[in-house]
Amino acid sequence: MNNRRHFLAGLSSAALGLWSQKLLAAPQKGDQIIGHGLHRYRVRKDWVPSGQGRNHPILNCHEMIQVRDGRLFMIGDHSHNQMLVFKTDGTILESWGTVWPGGHGLTKVDENGEEFLFVTDSGLWKSGAGAFRQTGRVTKIDLNGREIFSISHPMSVGAYEAHMPFNPTEVAVAPNGDIYVADGYGSNHVLRYDQHGKFLARFGGKEGVPLSERLNSPHGIAIDSRKGAENATLVVTSRGDNCFQRFTLEGKHMETMPTPGAFVCRPVFSGEEFYAGACWSKDASGKFLAMAAGFVVVIGADDKVIAAPGALAPEYEAGKLKPLVRSEDIFEHAHDVCVLANGDLIICQWNAFQTYPIKLERVVG
């Protein structure tokens, strides 16, 4: 005990603070730790304090983003409150929204210092025991929920034929303001609009394109600006084919990034890496897991999978990634990842028995 006291007394206040933070962040006895390498996390299923559901009921948690003041906005599909706003400690500040019954995608954009949200309603929704499909839409709103404009069925601008379904799942916004809509549950195309919602082009698709370039359930979409805005590209999920597809901002296919065994959702960029929830997965025998499935995928600067919290450690053989295999009973369809400034992750889940998001606290040391 005396040795420990002398050690602490000899530390500067700054060094003591760093030492204390590392000690607190290190795994403690009884912690559930998942992940690999520098991406190891303590599981916090109790991130949202108990009792919140009385005033803020949920059905499915779909996607989450963080705005500048620290608040976390999450889109869901409960009939009475589709937008939930959290503090970083899990407290729910407010919930609102009844016009997006198929609430699915949520994207933040900064315009001249002001923040806006793009809400994507897939058009797929539940009511009681029934499930319904209607035309989806994309809506631009401010942080108070005021609608700026919306994008509806592409048939209205000549981009789709009348028989083609439109059930969008996600939006990405380029540095110049162009808007890219992924029709992930509809006709498998990406639709490009200018910043005011004027239609510009359509690309992708599942039929009539080379197998290596197709979009098979383009569930998520994001701008990759890691090499600078002038070199930005578009990364699109092809969930049914267990991969991400990279395109130029004009829609030309560039490369495929495989995630075998993982039915990945949208890519979320943070620093030199990007993250994705894997909503479904396969077991060690290759059998598809429809229930109690999923994990998180972390992809490094070289576009290789470097960690898979909730799954076995990723392995490469002759430069090819072996199928990722779920190993932990943590997630129920991990649908989205929100990366906080300190490296912690908030995981939104679909079809998870009406439970709130799970927090993964980054472990140091």
Q: Are the beta carbons of 293 and 311 closer than 8 angstroms?
A: no
Q: Is 114 within a domain?
A: yes
The tally of domains found in the chain comes to: 1
Indicate which CATH number applies to the domain containing 354: 2.120.10.30
Q: Would you state the pLDDT for residue 11?
A: 39
Q: Is 357 within a domain?
A: yes
The residues with which 362 forms a beta bridge, in sequence order, are 41
Q: Are the beta carbons of 333 and 344 closer than 8 angstroms?
A: no
Q: Is 21 within a domain?
A: no
Question: What is the Cα–Cα distance from 193 to 201, expressed in whole angstroms?
Answer: 7
Q: Is 164 within a domain?
A: yes
Q: Would you state the pLDDT for residue 53?
A: 83
Q: Is 8 within a domain?
A: no
Can you give the residue range of the structural domain that contains 118? Answer: 30-362
Per-residue pLDDT of the chain (365 residues; tens, 9 = 90+): 433 333 333 433 333 343 334 434 555 556 899 999 999 999 999 999 998 888 999 999 999 999 999 999 999 999 999 999 999 999 999 999 999 999 999 999 999 999 999 999 999 987 777 788 999 999 999 999 999 999 999 999 999 999 999 999 999 999 999 999 999 999 999 999 999 999 999 999 999 999 999 999 999 999 999 999 999 999 999 999 999 999 999 999 999 999 999 999 999 999 999 999 999 887 667 777 766 679 999 999 999 999 999 999 999 999 999 999 999 889 999 999 999 999 999 999 999 999 999 999 999 87
Q: Is 5 within a domain?
A: no
Question: What is the Cα–Cα distance from 125 to 134, expressed in whole angstroms?
Answer: 9
Q: Smallest Cα–Cα separation from 68: which of 22, 113, 5? A: 113
Q: Would you state the pLDDT for residue 312?
A: 95
* Mean pLDDT over the full length of the chain: 91
Q: Is 336 within a domain?
A: yes
Query: Strand, coil or helix: what is 361?
Result: strand
pLDDT tens-digit profile of 43-82? Answer: 999 999 998 888 999 999 999 999 999 999 999 999 999 9
Q: Is 315 within a domain?
A: yes
Q: Would you state the pLDDT for residue 209?
A: 94
Residue 349: CA count within 13 A, CB half-sphere: 22
